[in-house]
Amino acid sequence: LETDLPLIIIRKEAKEYGTKGQIVGDFIKNSRALMVEDVATTGCSVLKAIKLLREGGLLIRNVIVVVDREEGAHAALADEGVELTPLVRIRDILKGALHID
């Protein structure tokens, strides 16, 4: 919102009112979009969202995630041609919490 860039939100389920779709927001078909997620584990949820956005006409090649729990998301997304960029990995959080070098 701070950047004035378009924002798209994905609903878990389509609503019976409003736009009635799972994708909320304005976008131009065949344009690139950057997905931002809070946590990635296996990548299953992220891949479902990417599939929905691609079906809606968006090109998704990059996902930024706050925390990568390192349980397969990186490889699963790579298999679909998507690069996962975490802000932090779980091992880094654990190292800090446990004071491990």
Within the chain, residue ranges assigned H as helices are 44-55, 73-79, 90-98
Query: Apex CA 33: angle with CA 80 and CA 51, to 5°?
Result: 40
| Nearest CA-CA partner of 56 in 10, 15, 17 | 10
pLDDT by 10s per residue, the chain, length 101: 788 888 888 887 766 666 667 888 888 899 999 999 999 999 999 999 999 999 999 999 999 999 999 999 999 999 999 999 999 999 998 887 777 66
Residue located via tokens 């950057």: 34
Q: How many CB atoms lie within 10 A of CB 99?
A: 6
Whole-number Å distance between alpha carbons of 63 and 41: 13
